[in-house]
Amino acid sequence: MPLKSLEDLASFCKRRGFAFQGSEIYGGLKGFWDLGPLGVELMKNIRETWWRSMVYERDDIDGMEAALISNRKAWQYSGHEGGFSDPLVECKKCHIRMRQDNMKDQTKCDACNSTDLTAPRDFKLMMGLAVGAVTDGEINAYLRPETATTTFINFKNVLDSASRKIPFGLVQIGKAFRNEITPRNFVFRMREFEQAELQYFVHPSEGMKWYEYWKAERRKWWVSLGIPAEKLREQEHEQLSHYAKAAFDLQYEFAGLGFEEVEGLHHRQDYDLGSHTKNQKDFNIQAKVMENKDSTAKLSYSDPQTGETYIPFVIEMAMGTHRCMAAVLDNAYTEEDLGEGNSRVVLKLKPTLSPIKAAVIPLARNVPELLTLAEKIHGELKALGLGRTVIENSGNIGKNYRRHDEIGTPVCVTVDHQSLEDGTVTIRHRDTMKQERVKADDIPDIVRKLIK
């Protein structure tokens, strides 16, 4: 049986130490979630998988990491300060505030059904800051609401320092902040979340070619996480943002929620590099951009072969890593009936994503020789550098197996009295519950092959 809702997933995550409501002991703060010991490992594995596929397995993409806070001007010229808002409606009776486009019925309050509502007004989503001692509280910077803009404004720095040729890409993984009107659905809509975004710079004549290319690549990546193709859906945007030539959402079918966006792919033309460029009139910018009086750089590219100078088009892949984590957990969570009144919860994560790669369990707690052998095996597993492995010395083998099934540990290695006599141990596989007797010396190799 799968999960029924994202609320169920949130309870599971709290119980097992994946994620906790932010500021919980002070009553919480809506839209903020903290990752626990298992969540932080799972998230690290998701980031690594994404980074590897984007940077290490390719030759045309570099990574970077920008500051979370940037100059107000960056967000003025990106169009966010003027236009990044959601329609806010307030109920005059119970005073709750709602995002109009998310209301169940646009004429009635979601909480009390009153029809006495304010007219919608634009609610700005960016979190402004007064940085330094000079401003007397006036906003002069913003916490970034996406990584993308902080990549665009570094385009020239990377081009000059890394000698890249078009087409090439730049990726960032990092925090983004949005003052969402109605944060909800566990980590699905948060006010502080993380994005993994690729900006791929191409010649204007090749925009649609690369858009189609990346569409296929991203779907493959999601499937490589163990998500079945039928739980993924592509939703082309019918109404495009003013800067976009084409866009689609990659959606995952969440328990109780249905298909919802986990990643956006946008053909952004020359809007971004054009917006942040000085002397815009020197270029034939195709997107509608605000006149820029403040930039000190031309974010253009000169082709060394043809001599052509132009503002590259951008194809963007924008994924939320928290939504990815929720999708991966939602997909992996399984309740299994084992017959005779027994059941188990098993998290069928791909071993590369599992927070704990292996657990070593001495069968009896009070036998020092068993613990010594278990520690030796654990030491060898740690030395492989595959990620976290643990030793469980509570002595209750059944409980340990169930606990590790539930948190997705691919294998448990049990050391018993026979191990002391013949140097063999039992390896138990999470998904099949199959147990095999193998040589203790072979364990590092077996685990390495499984995780890799």
Interhelix angle 6-16/321-332, nearest 10 degrees: 90
Note whether 225 binds ligand GAP by CB under 6 A: no
- Interacting residues of 160 by C-beta distance below 8 A, sequence separation 6+: none
Q: To the nearest whole angstrom, how small is the minimum distance from the Cβ of residue 236 to ligand GAP?
A: 14
Q: Which of 239, 308, 312 is nearest to 271 (CA)?
A: 312
Which helix H or strand E contains 73, and what residues bound it? helix 72-77
* Residue nearest ligand GAP by beta-carbon distance: 320
Give the residue with the Cβ less far from ligand GAP, 320 or 408: 320
* Part of the chain binding ligand GAP (CB under 6 A), chosen from 102-110, 316-324, 359-367, 402-410: 316-324
Q: To the nearest whole angstrom, how small is the minimum distance from the Cβ of residue 319 to ligand GAP?
A: 6
Q: To the nearest whole angstrom, how small is the minimum distance from the Cβ of residue 78 to ligand GAP?
A: 10
Among 323, 357, 378, 428, binds ligand GAP (CB under 6 A): 323
Give the residue with the Cβ less far from ligand GAP, 65 or 442: 65
Give the residue with the Cβ less far from ligand GAP, 275 or 414: 275
Segment 88 to 147, residues that bind ligand GAP, using CB under 6 A: 146
Segment 20 to 59, residues that bind ligand GAP, using CB under 6 A: none
Note whether 189 binds ligand GAP by CB under 6 A: yes
Please state, in angstroms and rounded to a whole number, the distance separating the CA atoms of residues 387 and 422.
29
Structure token pair of residue 62: 């570099």
Site string for ligand GAP, 344-383 (x = CB under 6 A): ----------------------------------------
Give the residue with the Cβ less far from ligand GAP, 197 or 416: 197
Among 19, 98, 148, 347, binds ligand GAP (CB under 6 A): 148
Binding residues for ligand GAP, rule CB under 6 A, total 19
Give the residue with the Cβ less far from ligand GAP, 190 or 246: 190
* Part of the chain binding ligand GAP (CB under 6 A), chosen from 53-61, 154-162, 221-229, 314-322: 314-322
Among 39, 312, 320, 351, binds ligand GAP (CB under 6 A): 320
Phi-psi group of 385: left, alpha or beta (phi > 0 → left; psi -120 to 50 → alpha; rest → beta): left
- Please say whether the beta carbons of 382 and 359 come within 8 A: no
Note whether 173 binds ligand GAP by CB under 6 A: no
Q: To the nearest whole angstrom, how small is the minimum distance from the Cβ of residue 41 to ligand GAP?
A: 20
- Please say whether the beta carbons of 182 and 98 come within 8 A: yes
Q: To the nearest whole angstrom, how small is the minimum distance from the Cβ of residue 449 to ligand GAP?
A: 33
Note whether 298 binds ligand GAP by CB under 6 A: no
Note whether 169 binds ligand GAP by CB under 6 A: no
- Please say whether the beta carbons of 313 and 269 come within 8 A: yes
Segment 243 to 282, residues that bind ligand GAP, using CB under 6 A: 261-264
Give the residue with the Cβ less far from ligand GAP, 318 or 397: 318
Q: Which of 349, 363, 423 is nearest to 391 (CA)?
A: 363
Note whether 193 binds ligand GAP by CB under 6 A: yes
Burial of 431 by CB count in 10 Å (0-12 exposed, 13-18 middle, 19+ buried)? middle
Burial of 56 by CB count in 10 Å (0-12 exposed, 13-18 middle, 19+ buried)? exposed
Three-state SS letters, 172-240:
EEEEEECCCCCCECCCCECCEEEEEEEEEEECHHHHHHHHHHHHHHHHHHHHHCCCCHHHEEEEECCCC
For the chain, what's the residue count?
A: 452
Q: To the nearest whole angstrom, how small is the minimum distance from the Cβ of residue 244 to ligand GAP?
A: 10
Query: Percentage helix, strand, coil, to 5, in the chain?
Result: 35, 30, 40
**DSSP-derived secondary structure letter, 145:** S
Please state, in angstroms and rounded to a whole number, the distance separating the CA atoms of residues 114 and 26.
31
Residue with tokens 């839209």: 31
For binding to ligand GAP (CB under 6 A), which residues are involved?
146, 148, 178, 180, 189-190, 193, 195, 197, 261-264, 316, 318-320, 322-323
